[in-house]
């Protein structure tokens, strides 16, 4: 055997035979492919294609009716020449119900049909018909309300105002459902404690008096919202508390110059317990009538006030001079 491969002519002959074999195999394979391609190009082959989740539209209908329980999508099977089906897209046709008339009030069965397909294409729709509820339609425009009962707030702040965009929405639905609307708005809530104003987008909810969701169409479903928080506050009168009086020689009278009350900030529970705030006026160095700056003594739990000091007019009268006037 080794001698055979050592013979140059034997090796050449074997190589030639092997090359001829490969050439013949490749030629036959290419011929088969060309033949199949030529067959396809010279004929029209029928095929089928199934499309899922095709939107279902409402057919021609009067403006004063409302249809509920309509399927959102259907399945469509197309059959016909492959060359045509390959060119059909989901946007090439529409699936819709048959025409609805004013006499179809109540539960109605509607056949489905397709518009926009080439004549060469046949189709099957699954389901081929739908059972819907047809009622008189009502449209109404209502303001967007809001509920902040589940908003977790810091104890020192409260909701000052809520801004919504849009401020009102247009609703369309069955007349009896529209008449049952009790709340149109958003539920504003938080898991964590909030202490600053914030913005967010909330889904519109349409509820009846029992808090159940209603089957109503709205022109806007996502409401942009800004929640403005402000500090808890309370306006209370000033109570002057003098220190450093010389009651053996002088008498004093106090009158706040610019204001007689201040606004305090803090927890609402603490604010509710406060009836006045102490204004400390030091007159230990006061010998005659003049204006003195008083300092607020904030109660425990109060985080701040709209001012920390108030000017006070101090009227000083010598007791000896006062007695002389009486005589």
Q: Which of 167, 201, 161 is nearest to 184 (CA)?
A: 167
Going by pLDDT thresholds of 50, 70 and 90, the confidence category of residue 29 is: low
Q: Is 45 helix (H, G, I), strand (E, B) or coil?
A: coil
What average pLDDT does this structure show over 235-251? 92
Q: What CATH number should be reported for the domain holding residue 127?
A: 2.170.120.30
Confidence at residue 84, expressed as pLDDT on a 0 to 100 scale: 92
Count up the domains in the chain and report the number.
3
What average pLDDT does this structure show over 196-216? 96
Q: Does residue 322 lie in a domain region?
A: yes
DSSP assignment string, 189-204: E-SS-B-S-EEEEEE-
Confidence at residue 47, expressed as pLDDT on a 0 to 100 scale: 92
Confidence at residue 7, expressed as pLDDT on a 0 to 100 scale: 58
Environment class of 84 (CB within 10 Å of its CB; exposed 0-12, middle 13-18, buried 19+):
middle
Backbone dihedral angles phi then psi of residue 6, each to the nearest 5 degrees: -80, -15
Confidence at residue 314, expressed as pLDDT on a 0 to 100 scale: 94
CB 88 within 8 A of CB 78: yes
44: pLDDT strictly greater than 90: no
**Which of 91, 108, 135 is where one domain is finished?**
135
What is the Cα 194 distance to its own chain's centre? 18
| Domain boundaries, position 87 | 46-135
Q: What CATH number should be reported for the domain holding residue 301?
A: 2.170.120.40
Confidence at residue 292, expressed as pLDDT on a 0 to 100 scale: 94
Q: What CATH number should be reported for the domain holding residue 217?
A: 2.170.120
CB 121 within 8 A of CB 78: yes
323: pLDDT strictly greater than 60: no
Environment class of 140 (CB within 10 Å of its CB; exposed 0-12, middle 13-18, buried 19+):
middle
207 and 279 assigned to the same domain = no
Distance of alpha carbon 160 from alpha carbon 320, whole angstroms: 56
Environment class of 50 (CB within 10 Å of its CB; exposed 0-12, middle 13-18, buried 19+):
exposed
Please, what sign has the CA dihedral across residues 200, 206, 208, 214?
Answer: negative
173 and 198 assigned to the same domain = yes
- Per residue in 254-298, pLDDT tens? 999 989 999 999 988 899 999 999 999 999 999 899 999 999 999
Residue tagged 């013979």 (tokens): 7
103: pLDDT strictly greater than 90: no
Q: Does residue 73 lie in a domain region?
A: yes
Q: 49 pairs with which residues across the strands?
A: 78
Going by pLDDT thresholds of 50, 70 and 90, the confidence category of residue 249 is: confident
Structure tokens at 321: 């001079």
Confidence at residue 311, expressed as pLDDT on a 0 to 100 scale: 95
Structure tokens at 214: 């209603």
Backbone dihedral angles phi then psi of residue 194, each to the nearest 5 degrees: -110, 135
């Amino acid at each position: 055997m080794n001698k055979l491969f050592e013979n140059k002519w034997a090796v050449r002959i074997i190589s030639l035979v092997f090359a001829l074999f490969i050439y013949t195999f490749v030629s036959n394979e290419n011929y088969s492919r060309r033949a199949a391609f030529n067959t396809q190009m010279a004929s029209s082959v029928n095929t089928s294609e199934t499309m899922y989740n095709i939107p279902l539209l409402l057919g021609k209908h009067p403006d004063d009716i409302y249809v509920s329980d309509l399927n959102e999508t259907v399945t469509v099977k197309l059959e016909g020449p492959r060359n045509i089906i390959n060119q059909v897209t989901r946007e090439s046709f529409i699936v819709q119900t048959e025409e609805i008339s004013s006499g179809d009030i109540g539960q109605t069965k509607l056949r489905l049909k397709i518009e926009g397909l080439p004549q060469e294409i046949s189709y099957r729709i699954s389901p081929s018909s739908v059972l819907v509820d047809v009622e008189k339609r009502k449209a109404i425009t209502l303001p967007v309300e809001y509920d902040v009962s589940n908003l977790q707030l810091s104890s020192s702040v409260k909701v000052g105002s809520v801004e919504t965009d849009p401020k009102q929405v247009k609703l369309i639905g069955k007349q009896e459902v529209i008449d049952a609307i009790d709340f149109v708005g958003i539920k504003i809530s938080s898991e964590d404690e909030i202490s600053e104003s914030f913005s967010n987008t909330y889904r519109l909810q349409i509820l009846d008096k029992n808090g159940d969701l209603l089957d109503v169409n709205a022109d806007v479903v996502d409401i942009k919202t800004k929640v403005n928080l402000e500090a808890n506050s309370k306006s209370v009168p000033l109570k002057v508390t003098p220190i450093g009086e010389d009651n053996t020689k002088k008498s004093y009278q106090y009158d706040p110059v610019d204001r007689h009350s201040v606004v305090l900030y803090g927890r609402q529970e603490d604010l509710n317990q406060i009836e006045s705030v102490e204004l400390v006026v030091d007159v230990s160095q006061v010998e005659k009538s003049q204006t003195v700056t008083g300092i607020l003594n904030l109660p425990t739990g109060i985080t701040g006030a709209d001012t920390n000091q108030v000017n006070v007019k101090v009227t000083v009268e010598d007791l000896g001079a006062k007695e002389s006037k009486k005589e």
